[in-house]
Amino acid sequence: MSSDSDTPKIKILPNGPYVVTGNVPLRERIIVQKGKHYEYKDGRELPQAEEYQLCRCGKSKDRIFCDGRHTQVGFDGTETASRKPYAERAEKIEGPALDLLDDGRCGLARFCHREEGSAWKLTEKSDNPELKQEAVIAASECPTGRLVAVEKDGTQLEPVYEPSIDILRDPAKGVNSGIFVKGNIPIESADGELYEVRNRVLLCRCGKSITKPFCDALHLI
Ligand code: FES
């Protein structure tokens, strides 16, 4: 029988960290370029725990876990992202054999780029079965969940993820990237409201995003 403490969840503290409960596996992943596309390689091994607090302000000396520094730096963690559901925010781009939903939430992780072009270009050429498959990969690998590939019968194509969290690093750009939350982990705002539960979201961990709590690539600036 499962208890609340077994259920994965992320609670955002006011002007403070993300409190992760429910034994959510945590790992570090590094974005690497291979030709014109991108892959992950494993980073450092991270400690596992039933509960842990991930830094949201970007000032923790540890870089991953909150060390309380948010109180010293006067972090303003006000959540500013739209709370409308993805389906209402996303625009539909129609291709010949595949459609693409796009809500514009970009973390510049670059997984939307493949050898033969971007998710958008590949969708336009989706009457070619190989390019259609590439378009699906380009959409599905986006950690922000910005892009979703949709079959013409309306079926949304999502990768299957167990609940887990990947701390992303982007050494090619000399920065830490966001917190990739996978597998439909509920995220509760500091005000108690639940965000729409999604299979993929990228949370800000530099403290600079203007669409908190989500990453908007401002770690690159
Ligand atoms: S949120 Fe606590 S140190 Fe960054």
pLDDT one-digit tens code per residue, 160-187? 999 999 999 998 888 888 999 999 999 9
Q: How far apart are CA 214 and CA 209, in angstroms?
A: 7
Amino acid code (one letter) for 67:
D
66 lines ligand 1 (CB under 6 A): yes
Q: How far, in Å, from the CA of 68 to the mean position of ligand 1?
A: 5
DSSP 99: E
For residue 153, what are its two tokens?
Answer: 């019968």
Distance 42 CA to ligand 1 centre (A): 24
**Which residue numbers in the chain have pLDDT < 70?**
1-5
pLDDT for residue 218: 85
**How much is the pLDDT for 1?**
47
Residue 129: CB atoms within 10 A of its CB come to 9
Residues 166 and 56: their CA atoms lie apart, in Å, by 14
Residues contacting residue 49 through CB under 8 Å, at least 6 positions apart: 23
Tell me what pLDDT residue 31 has.
93
pTM: 0.94
What is the tens place of the pLDDT at every residue in 120-133?
999 999 999 999 99
Q: Please count the other Cβ atoms lying within 10 Å of the Cβ belonging to residue 113.
A: 19
| CA of residue 44 relative to chain centroid, distance | 19
User: What is the position in ligand 1's atom list of the atom closest to the CA of 60?
Assistant: 3
Distance 14 CA to ligand 1 centre (A): 11
**Radius of gyration of the chain, Cα coordinates, nearest whole angstrom:** 17
Distance of CA 41 to the CA centre of its chain: 17
For the Cβ of 16 lying below 6 angstroms from any atom of ligand 1, the answer is: yes
Cβ atoms of residues 179 and 167 within 8 Å = yes
Task: Determine the 3-state secondary structure of 169 from DSSP.
Answer: strand
C-alpha–C-alpha distance, residues 49 and 20, integer Å: 9
Question: What pLDDT score does 3 carry?
Answer: 55
Q: How far is the CA of 60 from the centre of ligand 1 (A)?
A: 5
| CA-to-CA dists, residue 190 to 12, 97, 146, 168, 179, angstroms | 5, 42, 23, 23, 17
